[in-house]
Amino acid sequence: MPFAKEYIRYNDAMARAMAAAAEMLDDGRRRKKSDTRVRDYMMFMSRSLMRSMEVSAFAANEIPVNDREIIDMPSFCEELTSQCNIASGGRAKVVFTETDGEPFVSCLQSLRYIFLGQMRKILLNSEDRRNTFVIRSYRKDESLYFDMEAQDRHDFPESGRVQPPEVMNRCPDEMCSLLAERIGAELILNENGFTLCIPPCDFRGDVSMHSEDISPEGSPFSPYSIMLADMDPGE
């Protein structure tokens, strides 16, 4: 991968920063003092590290058809809408204008990270880190399509990159395209969003709902929180 050295360097920096913060927490424990800033910093750094590790793990290898899932479309739409809002603190509003109600075959976690990776890229370049994402799904020539479009203004740097130093910040398009490739899909990017084409495949199994780690209240280390929680302008 073209960003392999950058990925390793970044993860090393994150590990060192977390170790330093852990020492500060331990020192506070011995002094019987609690510093919420250190705790919040640890959460921030942990999510940053998990963004790189989680996405890279799914992007590393092709996911065979037999390892994919049958995903319930209404449940996926409901999860994406509610969890993006919860994890981002209302910064990422998702609206589905049209949906194909039939189940479809894919890798649920990879699919989440494709949507969230592109949302994160746009949010980081939107005013006040807020935007509304309009999504529709439809069938064409037996393939399933998702169209996502950001409704509010966002300006990307001339370099085409977002902000350093993290892999998912610096290489969001490359990572999301690789995630799509690993699940046999095609990701067509544009300035305001993307079109994702998932071709049909021969797979039989039970309809998969959603991972048990996604609760209605959200989790600090769910895919949604990992990708969307740290969106304050100063971060």
pLDDT at 221 (0 to 100): 79
Domain boundaries, the chain: 4-59, 65-228
Q: What pLDDT is stored for residue 232 in this prediction?
A: 65
Which of 19-23, 168-172, 178-182 has the least mean pLDDT?
Answer: 19-23
| Most distant CA pair in the chain, distance | 66
pTM of the model: 0.80
Alpha-carbon distance of 85 to 81, in angstroms, equals 7
pLDDT tens string 204-233? 666 665 444 444 456 777 899 889 988 765
Instruction: Name 60's Cβ contacts closer than 8 Å, sequence gap at least 6.
Output: none
- What pairing do the DSSP bridges indicate for beta strands 92-98 and 131-140? parallel
For the segment 172-178, the average pLDDT, to the nearest whole number, is 90
Q: Are 118 and 150 in contact (CB under 8 A)?
A: no
Q: How confident is the model at residue 162 (pLDDT cuts 50, 70, 90)?
A: very low
Pairwise CA distance, residues 17 & 235, whole Å:
15
Q: According to the model, what pLDDT value does residue 216 have?
A: 46
Residue 220's φ and ψ, nearest 5 degrees, are -65, -15
pLDDT in tens, 132-153: 999 999 999 999 999 999 998 7
Task: Give the per-residue pLDDT at 211.
Answer: 42
Q: How many CA atoms lie within 13 A of 34 on its CB side?
A: 3
Round the CA-based radius of gyration of the chain to a whole number and report it: 18
Which of 152, 224, 140 has its CA nearest to residue 186?
Answer: 140
Tell me 175's DSSP state.
H
Q: Output the pLDDT for position 6.
A: 53
pLDDT in tens, 5-34: 455 455 555 555 555 555 565 565 566 666
> What class has domain 65-228?
alpha beta
* In the block, residue with structure tokens 């039939």: 102
Per-residue pLDDT of 91-131, as tens digits, reads 999 999 988 888 898 999 999 999 999 999 999 888 888 99
pLDDT single digits (tens) 47-84: 877 787 788 788 888 888 777 888 889 889 999 999 99
Find, among 171, 161, 162, 142, the residue nearest to 235 by Cα: 162
* Nearest in space to 224 (alpha carbons), one of 85, 107, 130, 104: 85
